Amino acid sequence: MTTTDAPIGPGPPAGRGEAGPTVQVEHMDVTYRVRGRDRLALRDVSFRIGSRESYGLVGESGSGKSTVALALTRYLPRNGRVSAGAITINGQDLLSLGAGALRELRARTVSMVYQEPGRALNPSIRVGHQVAEVYEIAGAGRHESLERAEAILRKVQIADPAQVMDRYPHQLSGGMAQRAVIAMALAAEPSLLILDEPTTALDATVEAEVLDLVTALREEFDTSVLFISHNLAVIAKMCDRVGVLYAGELIEEGPAREVFDQPRHPYTVGLLRCIPRRGQRKDHGRLDTIPGFLPPAGHSITGCVFAPRCSIVQDRCREAAPPSFQINPAHTSRCYRHEIAPDLPRSTPVDLSLPTPEETAEPIARLVSVSKTFPARGGAIHALAGVNLDLMRGETLGLVGESGSGKTTLARVLLGLTPPDQGASVELDDQPLPADLRRRSRDQLKSIQIVFQNPDSALNRRHTVRRLISRPLSRLAGLSGQRLRERVADLIRSVRMEERHLSLRPNQLSGGLKQRVAIARAFGSGPRLVVCDEPTSALDVSVQAAILNLLADLQAKEKVTYLFISHDLGVVRYLADRIAVLYLGRVMEVGPAETVFAGPHHPYTEALLSAVPSIDGQRPTRIRLKGEIPSAANPPSGCVFHTRCPRKLTSGVCESTEPPLAEVAPGHLMSCHIPIDQLRTLQSNGQAP
């Protein structure tokens, strides 16, 4: 590295710790040997985690986040090694530890919590014994270990630890299992706790609880935390300092608030612009995007790794990698042009003309008293219970709710993939739609299409892009020959891809491109209603922005109606005109997006909203849901939400009577016993119950 202006090593410790840093990583390179070739996965990564400090690592998939975690525990796979630099944990040189000392370090000093709690627990050992094992290894007797296990499980707020200890991991819900894993990780009172995407597999409401727990425990246990996540809001909430990883390099580092409020590297700036924030909506203009793609592992970019995608790139950026520039004592950026980085020109023009759905719009599709019961052992699962919902022509209806609320079942009923119970009716243009897909006419099939969550699953991996997107055209739109070829070319360009992609297969495309192919496939038949089932949740933030823009553009052009399912309220708020909130297969609230978000809203909506962490600091009102969504096999009496409702009335009406879905304002329906004015007062006061 040729050093120029103000080269410095890693920033000084900015943690609150008075003692030396818990972790010190200096100029670390990690190399994977793949098919006989060395590929650099991390390059010159340096950072410190002070004692009792919480340090966040953010980055998109492939940036090397997890490799850092593996390197810090020396759990790199056999083909990986730390090829340069030094790692010190609690003053010990990690890389020179022998097998015994390493085992000791893993047992006492460093603990790790992974993304999927279900895979971190041994399925054949009772939870109590797994937790107790940590104490037994530390030398405690069997009886004492079990007692201490119970104590730590209570500490991670498991309600009935004695009973939970007797269960097997599969009998725990996701949130509960993750608590148990955290309990195990903390049992050894480690100096460093590594959390690798600990809440990514959990619902927002459960995530909020787990994050609160981690915050509380960190205070209590005096532990340093390395928090790894792709979710910037989670990092903003949880961390004192943050490092941004891009293509294996730490490109920016500083206090979390400062990095997110005043980013000084073009990548960080771009990444933050990709996220719909502060109530941004599609009619405010497009989201900005980051052009291009993450360079593949083992790339050979000389100079700055971000240069190929940077809009303020200069010749010197391509000649030599920029050193770390000190912006202030705590904030560094690896960018020659860090001073102008905040004013990065937009990559995507703002302009966007969208038709606003007319006030008197006709419904294109209606769901009338749709119920769906799945037979199951020990009763039936009521996935949907009497749902009435209209989809207006040209609008985007956002469908939100926790997993298990029936969102996907609703979409499948509409599509005809799952037949609803007797007595339900699904109408398209006021004509009843046959429940069975095979009895729907070509025209009806053509009208409703879907973009699935995961393009890897939704695209046949043995078919070429050409085949994938021409089949709907030939099958439903009846095109062939020259006209088919022309339309295929149109279609591929309309999702911003090129004709040369037509001959490729899905595994030769990146995640974002695959999702574009899936969108092209859905739009091929010329549908009037497109169901988008979490279309961006499997994608990185920068890719998500481009897909959301594309969906908004296509809607403007093709005048389609969207049923947009998402657990990400920021995304729903950006795209949706109206929002329906689902809980245990029932509509809790439906109304114009802005009204639903602004409130007064249903207590469940309120809880969902306050569960979502925000990059821009915390919201004033914070209510927490206790526990997880009850089983749909045995829904609670009265209002199904009463078991978790923080604003439940004392009169007992919530337990006994199911509130009707009543109009509280024009177009705004809610199913709650609490009068709207009272809700307004409660919620505008920011009163937590």
Partner 1 sequence: MTNIAAPPAAGVAVARAERSGDLTPWRLLLRRPTFLAGAAILLFWVACAAFGRSIAPHDPLAQQLLATNSAPSGAHWFGTDQLGRDAFSRVIVGVRDILLISSLATVLGTVLGTALGLIMGYLGGVADILVGRIVEAVLALPLVIVAFLFVVALGPSPLVITIVVGFVFTPLIARTVRSAVLVESQLDYLSSARLLGEKSPYIMAVEILPNVVPTILVEFTVRLGYAIFTVATLSFLGFGVQPPTPDWGSDIAHNYVTLGAGYWWMTLFPALAIASLVIAINLVTDSIEQVLAS
69 forms part of the interface with partner 1 (CB under 8 A): no
In angstroms, the CA 679 to CA 669 distance is: 14
Residue range at the interface with partner 1 (CB under 8 A); choices 135-143, 204-212, 443-451, 607-615: 443-451
- Residues in Cβ contact with 354 at an 8 Å cutoff, skipping those fewer than 6 apart: 282, 283, 552, 555, 556
- Residues in Cβ contact with 618 at an 8 Å cutoff, skipping those fewer than 6 apart: 237
In the complex with partner 1, the residue whose CB is nearer, 123 or 345, is 345
Instruction: Say how many residues touch partner 1, by CB under 8 A.
Output: 60
Q: How far is the CB of 64 from partner 1 (least distance, A)?
A: 17
Per-residue tokens: 470:
């021409």
User: Pick from 524, 515, 391: which is nearest to 446 by CA?
Assistant: 524
DSSP state of 563: E
In the complex with partner 1, the residue whose CB is nearer, 43 or 521, is 521
In the complex with partner 1, the residue whose CB is nearer, 306 or 641, is 306
Q: How far is the CB of 495 from partner 1 (least distance, A)?
A: 9
Per-residue tokens: 68:
């850092």
Query: Exactly one of 299, 483, 559, 619 binds partner 1 (CB under 8 A); which one?
Result: 299
Strand order in the sheet with 396-400: 448-451, 529-533, 561-565, 396-400, 578-583, 586-592, 668-670, 662-665
Whether 227 contacts 195, CB under 8 Å: yes
347 forms part of the interface with partner 1 (CB under 8 A): yes
Residue 515: phi and psi, rounded to 5, are: -65, -35
497 forms part of the interface with partner 1 (CB under 8 A): yes
Query: Exactly one of 12, 77, 292, 434 binds partner 1 (CB under 8 A); which one?
Result: 292
503 forms part of the interface with partner 1 (CB under 8 A): no
Whether 7 contacts 37, CB under 8 Å: no
375 forms part of the interface with partner 1 (CB under 8 A): no
In angstroms, the CA 386 to CA 660 distance is: 11
449 forms part of the interface with partner 1 (CB under 8 A): yes
User: Pick from 501, 661, 502, 474: which is nearest to 581 by CA?
Assistant: 661
475 forms part of the interface with partner 1 (CB under 8 A): yes
- Tell me the HSE value of 611 on the side-chain side, using a 13 A CA sphere: 26
Per-residue tokens: 162:
């004695």
Query: Exactly one of 97, 102, 107, 312 binds partner 1 (CB under 8 A); which one?
Result: 312
- Residues in Cβ contact with 193 at an 8 Å cutoff, skipping those fewer than 6 apart: 110, 111, 112, 113, 185, 186, 218, 223, 224, 225, 226
* Total Cβ atoms within 10 A of residue 261: 13
DSSP state of 153: H
Q: How far is the CB of 529 from partner 1 (least distance, A)?
A: 12
Residue type, 348: T
Q: How far is the CB of 315 from partner 1 (least distance, A)?
A: 7
In the complex with partner 1, the residue whose CB is nearer, 106 or 475, is 475
Query: Exactly one of 241, 273, 501, 668 binds partner 1 (CB under 8 A); which one?
Result: 501
480 forms part of the interface with partner 1 (CB under 8 A): no
Interactions with partner 1, residue window 250-289 (CB under 8 A): 289
Query: Exactly one of 66, 348, 643, 671 binds partner 1 (CB under 8 A); which one?
Result: 348
466 forms part of the interface with partner 1 (CB under 8 A): no
In the complex with partner 1, the residue whose CB is nearer, 197 or 533, is 533
In the complex with partner 1, the residue whose CB is nearer, 515 or 683, is 515
Helix 541-558 to helix 511-524 angle (10° resolution) is: 20
Query: Exactly one of 296, 355, 617, 675 binds partner 1 (CB under 8 A); which one?
Result: 296
In the complex with partner 1, the residue whose CB is nearer, 163 or 508, is 508
463 forms part of the interface with partner 1 (CB under 8 A): yes
* Total Cβ atoms within 10 A of residue 7: 13
Interactions with partner 1, residue window 404-423 (CB under 8 A): 415-417
Task: Mark residues 156-195: x for contact with partner 1 by CB under 8 A, - for none.
Answer: ----------------------------------------
| Helical spans, DSSP H, in 495-568 | 511-524, 541-558
Helix 174-187 to helix 127-137 angle (10° resolution) is: 10
Query: Exactly one of 72, 445, 560, 632 binds partner 1 (CB under 8 A); which one?
Result: 445
Q: How far is the CB of 316 from partner 1 (least distance, A)?
A: 8
Query: Exactly one of 100, 123, 345, 620 binds partner 1 (CB under 8 A); which one?
Result: 345
Whether 370 contacts 424, CB under 8 Å: yes
Residue type, 21: P
Whether 329 contacts 11, CB under 8 Å: yes
In the complex with partner 1, the residue whose CB is nearer, 229 or 408, is 408
61 forms part of the interface with partner 1 (CB under 8 A): no
437 forms part of the interface with partner 1 (CB under 8 A): yes
- Name the β-bridge partners of 324: 8
In the complex with partner 1, the residue whose CB is nearer, 87 or 274, is 274
In the complex with partner 1, the residue whose CB is nearer, 229 or 566, is 566
Q: How far is the CB of 543 from partner 1 (least distance, A)?
A: 8
In the complex with partner 1, the residue whose CB is nearer, 523 or 641, is 523
Bond preceding residue 600 cis, omega within 30 of 0: yes
Interactions with partner 1, residue window 509-568 (CB under 8 A): 509-510, 512-513, 521, 525, 543, 546, 549-550
Interactions with partner 1, residue window 5-34 (CB under 8 A): 34
Whether 162 contacts 146, CB under 8 Å: no
Per-residue tokens: 154:
């209570």
- Name the β-bridge partners of 391: 365
Q: How far is the CB of 341 from partner 1 (least distance, A)?
A: 12
Whether 325 contacts 338, CB under 8 Å: yes
Query: Exactly one of 37, 78, 143, 377 binds partner 1 (CB under 8 A); which one?
Result: 37
Query: Exactly one of 48, 52, 440, 602 binds partner 1 (CB under 8 A); which one?
Result: 440
343 forms part of the interface with partner 1 (CB under 8 A): no
Q: Is 644 exposed, middle or buried (CB count within 10 Å of its CB: 0-12, 13-18, 19+)?
A: buried
Q: How far is the CB of 496 from partner 1 (least distance, A)?
A: 5
Whether 95 contacts 82, CB under 8 Å: yes
Per-residue tokens: 502:
């037509």
User: Pick from 484, 539, 485, 477: which is nearest to 513 by CA?
Assistant: 539
| Helical spans, DSSP H, in 222-330 | 232-238, 256-261, 266-273, 315-319
494 forms part of the interface with partner 1 (CB under 8 A): no
Per-residue tokens: 531:
């169901």
Q: How far is the CB of 475 from partner 1 (least distance, A)?
A: 5
Residue range at the interface with partner 1 (CB under 8 A); choices 66-74, 507-515, 651-659, 674-682: 507-515
Residue range at the interface with partner 1 (CB under 8 A); choices 175-183, 207-215, 304-312, 573-581: 304-312
462 forms part of the interface with partner 1 (CB under 8 A): yes
Q: Contact residues for partner 1 (CB under 8 A)?
A: 34-35, 37, 289, 291-293, 295-296, 299, 309-315, 345, 347-348, 415-417, 437-438, 440, 442, 445, 448-450, 452-454, 457-463, 471-472, 475-476, 496-498, 501, 508-510, 512-513, 521, 525, 543, 546, 549-550
